[in-house]
Copies of this chain bind each other. A is one copy, B any other.
Amino acid sequence: MEEAEKLIRITAIEEVGEIAKLDINRYLRTGIPEIVLAEGKCPEDLLEITVKALDKSGRVILSRVDNAQFELIQRSIPSDAVYEVNRRARVVVIKNKNFNFESHGGKVGILTAGTADIPVAEEARIIAHEMGCKVFTAYDIGIAGLHRLFPPLKEMIQNDVDCLIVVAGREGALPSVVAGLVDVPVVAVPTSVGYGLGEKGISALMAMLQTCSLGIAVVNIDSGVAAGAVAALIANRVAKFRKNI
């Protein structure tokens, strides 16, 4: 009887195990690359994960990489891999020599309120680019200096972007302003810029969630990866139909 029970349990788990392939299929279909959060991993573990991912998918993206991690990886990965290192964004993209990069046609615009928001914006840009989008950027367009906003925003609208990523710290008001001027969805990214009450991005995150402007959705503080991925997903879905015209 007890053995029977155990058998049932195991069978159940096996059935579920069958869905494993689904997950792999999804990456192929959607073009979301393997992205590994390096932060909190010891360099040896990160290297092992990197090698496996590279083996499996031909490309791996490491985010929030520190120097020790980067050095070990650089020393250890076969020299025929292609590296792109963005120290500001702390992102490393590694591709096998023969990795087949595919463009999907989505168009994403990225704006930052300040200079200190650029690392997060760059993280988002790399993800959206690696997902096959065309990315337009305009950094440090300020809030106190709104006049810097209009020329690049105008250019992005003329280029018919499908989705805007707006990155801001402190009071985090830029996404609300932008969403009031355009008719494409805005992905808002709070950054951990500022000090005092509301520091570490809390104030910016709250403002983006409390916004009176409609057409905004939010990702976590400093999460350029999440912003890049969801914006590229939106843009590529639009592009799928645009291509058919």
Contact = CB atoms under 8 A, between A and B. Distances in A.
Interface of A: 2, 5-6, 8-10, 12-26, 29-30, 32, 35, 37, 39-42, 45-46, 49, 64, 88, 113-116, 118, 140, 142-148, 150-151, 153-154, 157-158, 160, 162-163, 169-173, 176, 180-187, 192-199, 201-223, 225-227, 229-230, 233-234, 237-238, 240-242, 244-245
A220 B203 CA distance: 12
Contacts of A206: 171, 197-198, 202-203, 206-207
A3 B154 CA distance: 14
The 7 closest A-B pairs by CB, nearest first: A20-B147, A198-B206, A17-B150, A217-B217, A196-B220, A196-B221, A203-B206
Given A17-B154, A162-B237, A212-B171, A219 B218 contact: yes
Contacts of A32: 214-215
9 contacts: A12-B26, A37-B116, A144-B214, A171-B208, A173-B176, A195-B221, A196-B222, A203-B203, A209-B223
Given A234-B234, A245-B241, A153 B13 contact: yes
A205 B199 CA distance: 12
Contacts of A182: 9
A181 B22 contact: yes
Contact of A41 (B35, B116, B207): B116
B183 A26 contact: yes
A21 B148 CA distance: 10
A20 B146 contact: yes
